[in-house]
Amino acid sequence: MMRQYELVERVKSYDPHADEALLNRAYVYAMKMHGHQKRASGDPYFSHPLEVAAILVDLKLDDATIVSALLHDTLEDTGATRDEIDELFGKEIGSLVDGLTKISKLDLVTKKAEQAENFRKLLVAIASDVRVLLVKLADRLHNMRTLQYVPRDTRKRIAQETMDIYAPLAARMGMQAVREEMEDLAFKALNPEAYDIVMTRLVELREANRGLIEEIQLALRAKFDKSGIKAQVLSREKKPYSIWSKMERKQISLEQLSDIFGFRVLVNSVDECYAVLGVVHTTWPMVPGRFKDYVSTPKQNDYQSIHTTIVGPRHQRVELQIRSERMHRFAEYGIAAHALYKDSANGKGKPGAGKKKKLALSEESNAYRWLRRLIEMLLEGDNPEEFLEHTKLELFHDQVFCFTPKGLLIALTRGATPIDFAYAVHTDIGNSCAGCKINGRTMPLMTKLSNGDEVEILISKTQTPPAAWESVAVTGKARSAIRRATREASRAQYSKLGREILERAFKRAGKSYRKSTIERTLHRLSQNSADAVLTAVGRGELPSADVVQAAFPDIPRPKAPKAPRRRIVERSGEGWFGLTKVIGLKFRIPGMSQRDDGKHANSIPIKGLKGDLPVRFAARGGAVPGDPIVGIMEPGVGITIYPIHAKALKEFTDQPERWIDVRWDIDEKNEERFPAQIQVTAMNEPGSLAQVAQVIGEAGGNIDNIKTKRVVEDYTDMLIDLEVWDMEHLKEIISGLNSKSVVSAVKRTHE
Q: Give dist(CA 316, CA 205) in Å, integer.
A: 14
The one catalytic residue in 6, 9, 58, 76 is 76
Is 597 an annotated catalytic residue? no
C-beta pairs of 543-551 under 8 Å, 24+ apart in sequence: 544/501, 544/502, 544/504, 544/505, 545/505, 547/502, 547/505, 547/518, 547/521, 548/502, 548/505, 548/506, 548/509, 548/511, 550/521, 550/524, 550/525, 551/506, 551/511, 551/517, 551/518, 551/520, 551/521
**420 annotated active-site:** no
The per-residue DSSP string of 424-444 comes to: HH-HHHHHTEEEEEETTEEE-
Q: Name the residue among 385, 223, 390, 412 with its Cα closest to residue 299.
A: 412
Of 359, 454, 473, the residue nearest 402 (C-alpha): 454
Q: Which of 734, 513, 730, 723 is nearest to 627 (CA)?
A: 730
Long-range contacts for 615-620 (Cβ within 8 Å, ≥24 apart)?
Answer: 615/639, 615/640, 615/641, 616/640, 616/641, 617/641, 617/674, 617/675, 618/642, 618/643, 618/646, 618/648, 618/750, 619/593, 619/594, 619/595, 620/594, 620/646, 620/648, 620/677, 620/750, 620/751
Active-site pick, 77, 117, 389, 634: 77
Pairs from 351-354 (Cβ < 8 Å, separation ≥ 24): 354/17
Are residues 613 and 601 in contact, defined by beta-carbon separation less than 8 angstroms? yes
Helix H or strand E segment including 323: strand 317-324
Residues labelled catalytic: 76-77
